[in-house]
């Protein structure tokens, strides 16, 4: 390759180019990469929200068909309670996920405190086992629980249904609570508890008055995660329920199989998304306000 030579007008000698000094002009490449980045982010936003928008369109489509848009309507929103099976499965979903979330938040917080105070050996063993429900494939978790519940069938003949579903949901939501609470426990000043005990507070009362307020944020985020997981679960519920006790996911799966999905379910889903959006935005505004107050 022929090298461009620049001659200095002063000395008449060759000047090294910028590239020879090791400088590369990346301005164009940078611009291209930035454009690729923006396109990707837009694409990801579409990926995340396309199906939600489609679901919303179905929920306001008066023809009830998924191929043809007729006119705008809110009638499906009033038909949620009319469709008996759909409404029953919605109630079941709420009952199971709220109960499971409350149980695992309460027990998970106590367990996390227990794990935190255990010796290293037991702590390691529990944390290893705690990862099993978290990382195991849903289908394997579902099958395992179903097998265990089937073994209990001889003692409790009517166990399948609400009890098994609840146990299963508590089983896979507990690790989320524990993992959210544990780091907050290590942030507490260890002297805090001793101070409370020195001041004559009983240990159980100190737990509620001292430790619990300090780990509040961890408990709340664990609770939110547990509810999210429980509310949307399909595979584990599918294997562990029985006796016609369906949650929303199982009902939807059955309806898709029978090809008679009512548009009311799209309406319900849109309400959930809209509600979640409001709650999360509200929480966001509160957290921003709190940060500002801290800075002041």
Partner 1 sequence: MNNRFHKMAIPYLIWLYALALIPTIFMFFLIFFDMEGLDFDEIKITLKNFAQLTESSTLIALWNSIKYAFLSTIICIILGYITAYFLYKSHFKNKFLILTILILPMWSNLLLRTQALASIMEPHNIITSLLHLNPNTQEGLAGKGIAVVIGLVFTYLPFMILPIYTALEKIEPMLEEASLDLGTTEFKTFFRVTLPLSFKGIVTGSVMVFLPCMSGFAIPEILGKGNIVMIGNIIEQFFKNMNYNIGSLLAIVILLLILVSIALVNKFDKEGETIL
* Site residues (CB under 8 A) for partner 1, limited to 223-282: 225, 228, 231-232, 234-235, 239, 248-249, 252-253, 256, 261, 265-266, 269, 272-273, 276-277, 280-281
d(CA 261, CA 252): 7
97 near partner 1 (CB under 8 A): no
**In the structure encoding, which two tokens stand for residue 89, read together?**
């499965």
The burial class, CB within 10 Å (0-12 / 13-18 / 19+), for 12 is: exposed
Dist CA 26 CA 151 (whole Å): 66
Query: Which token pair is 27?
Result: 């301005």
Chain residues 42-81 in contact with partner 1, contact rule CB under 8 A: 43-44, 47-52, 54-55, 57-58, 61, 66-69
Cα distances (Å, whole numbers) of residue 250 to 90, 196, 211, 234 = 11, 49, 40, 6
32 binds partner 1 (CB under 8 A): no
73 vs 228, which CB is nearer to partner 1? 228
Q: Can residue 24 be called a binding residue for partner 1 (CB under 8 A)? A: yes
The DSSP element (H or E) to which 182 belongs, if any, is helix 162-187
Nearest CB to partner 1, comparing residues 7 and 18: 18
Give the chain's end-to-end CA distance (angstroms, integer). 64
134 binds partner 1 (CB under 8 A): yes
Residue 57: which H helix or E strand, with range? helix 27-59
Secondary structure of residue 6 in the 3-state scheme: strand
Using CB under 8 A, pick the residue from 60, 145, 181, 264 that binds partner 1. 145
One of 95, 148, 159, 220 touching partner 1 (CB under 8 A) = 148
- Please list every residue from 184 through 223 that binds partner 1, using CB under 8 A: 190, 193-194, 197, 203, 206-207, 211
Binding mask 158-187 for partner 1 (x = CB under 8 A): ---------x---x--x-x--xx-------
């Amino acid at each position: 390759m022929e090298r461009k030579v620049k001659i200095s007008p002063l000395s008449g000698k060759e000047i090294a180019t910028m590239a020879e000094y090791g400088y590369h002009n990346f301005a164009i490449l940078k611009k291209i990469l930035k454009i690729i980045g923006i396109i990707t982010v837009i694409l990801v936003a579409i990926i995340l929200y396309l199906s939600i928008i489609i679901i919303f369109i179905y929920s306001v489509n008066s023809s009830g068909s998924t191929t043809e848009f007729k006119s705008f309507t809110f009638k499906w929103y009033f038909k949620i309670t009319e469709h008996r099976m759909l409404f029953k499965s919605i109630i079941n979903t709420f009952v199971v996920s709220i109960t499971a979330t409350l149980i695992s938040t309460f027990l998970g917080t106590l367990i996390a405190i227990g794990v935190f105070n255990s010796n290293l050996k037991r702590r390691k063993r529990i944390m290893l086992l705690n990862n099993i429900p978290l990382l195991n494939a849903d289908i394997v978790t579902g099958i395992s629980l179903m097998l265990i519940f089937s073994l209990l069938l001889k003692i409790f003949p009517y166990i399948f249904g609400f009890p098994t579903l609840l146990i299963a949901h508590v089983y896979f939501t507990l690790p989320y609570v524990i993992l959210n609470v544990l780091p907050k426990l290590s942030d507490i000043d260890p002297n805090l508890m001793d101070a409370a005990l020195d001041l004559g507070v009983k240990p159980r009362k100190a737990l509620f008055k001292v430790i619990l307020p300090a780990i509040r944020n961890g408990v709340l985020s664990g609770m939110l995660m547990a509810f999210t997981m429980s509310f949307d679960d399909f595979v584990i519920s599918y294997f562990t329920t029985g006796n016609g006790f369906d949650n929303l996911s199982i009902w939807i799966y059955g309806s898709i199989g029978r090809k008679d999905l009512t548009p009311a379910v799209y309406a319900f889903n849109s309400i959930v998304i809209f509600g979640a959006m409001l709650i999360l935005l509200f929480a966001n505004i509160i957290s921003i306000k709190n940060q500002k107050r801290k800075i002041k």
